[in-house]
Amino acid sequence: MSTDSCRDASWEIIQSFEKLDALMELGQATSVFSIHQSYTWSRLCISEEHFRRLFTRLGVHPGFLDVVFLFREKLGPVEEGFSSAFVDIIPPAVHDIQARTTQGRSYHIGYNIKYVARHGRALPNDPFSIREVGVYQYFSSDTQQSNWVLIQASDRIKDRLRCAFQSCDDSLPKMQFLFHSIILLDGSEDWREYMIFLEDAFTKLVDKGFFTNLKGALQKGDLIADFSDLRKLQILTDKLRRLVHVLKLNIRLGNLLKKDMARIEASSSSDLGTNFDAIQRNLDKYVLDQETHFDRLETLIARSSGIIQLVQSIQDTRSAEASQQINHEMQTLTEQGVNENKLMKRLTEQSTRDTRSMMTIALISAVFLPATFLATLFGSNFFVYSQPENSLTVASNFWVYIIFTAAFSGATVLLWYTWRQRRLQQDKENDVEAL
């Protein structure tokens, strides 16, 4: 963007060296170049040759390269805690001192400011993300020209600067130091809304810690604080500490600019005193806002440590009760096991006694079975005792007894053998199916 005083300012896209050289040859009182990224972690949308030629033609201070390096391509939120700022006031030339000119001194101002803004994505659940913008200004007291370089400036910042450059009163190059307060205050606007979001998320976790029941949910709707809430508190506390560091960097930047603006005022003409008073007031407001947000975050961190200890104590109490309940159940199971062992011992003793009884019965049966068999056999009509002849006579049909006995005995043995073979075959088939 190029503009003279009281002229319309508009942004133009530069895609060639010819257009860049043509704009540089116009000799505008103010030139503003904005370099952006496709998204926050992508590379800058400018080639290395364009970048080198642009910074060479503008005479950009080498210290600004530290700020440029922050906007390199990256895969994660690296160097969120890095900040760079410098104000280089150029001493006047010898002939200017002798002529006692009242144009003031030339100076370079460069820094990066971190701010929060809504990212507009469904994930993560936190609707805000940390962003930053790089700012560089060079004012030449000799030519009364001012050059600006903005890196990854938001559309809102660019619109506000465009409106500011169109102002006839404050857009003169020697007064453009006022625009730094516009950039800083713009970066401070969304912090309050973000603080409200963080406090709301913190309050929900606090309620769970304060109102949860030690013994868990007793009825529907009871609040339950578990390990996931403890993890959320740790994540939130870590995020708060990161934000505290970011605010420290912004506060340090505001104080640095206040001090250096006083140095620039001391070397400038007295007619700019009102303008320097205005930027000092704006910088004071910026520092106060950042310190207020810083104190709110410090309070949340201090409170979170107490809530974490409370939730941890609740978890420990529940764990102790659960361990006690488990120990009680284990004791009950042990007692049941002892009783079962006693019962098994009694059953074993009873089985031993039964076995001994069966052995006794088997012994008695073995002793009396032959005698019983002989008594039965000789008591049948197959054997007849003849008194006259004094002899034992075998009946002629004794063979019937032998044949029927052998047949029934053989049939019994055959049936048992058949049943046994079928049982073994069935067991083999079941084993094959199981494999």
Taking only the tens place, the pLDDT of each residue in 208-218 is 776 676 566 55
What are the start-end ranges of the E strands in 39-163? 85-89, 107-118, 128-140, 145-151
Beta 383-386 vs 145-151: how paired, if at all? Answer: unpaired
Place of tokens 């039965």: 376
Residue pair 104/92 in contact by the 8 Å Cβ criterion: no
Band of pLDDT at residue 310, cut at 50, 70 and 90: confident
Mean pLDDT of 109-114: 96
pLDDT tier for residue 112 given thresholds of 50, 70 and 90: very high
What is the pTM (predicted TM-score) of this model?
0.71
Q: How far apart are CA 370 and CA 375, in angstroms?
A: 8
pLDDT in tens, 356-395: 888 888 888 777 776 776 677 666 666 666 666 667 677 7
Helix (H) or strand (E) holding 34: strand 30-35
Q: Quick one: which of 130, 168, 136, 137 has its CA closest to 151?
A: 136
Q: Please provide the size of the chain in residues.
A: 435
Task: Give the residue carrying structure tokens 């009182």.
Answer: 29
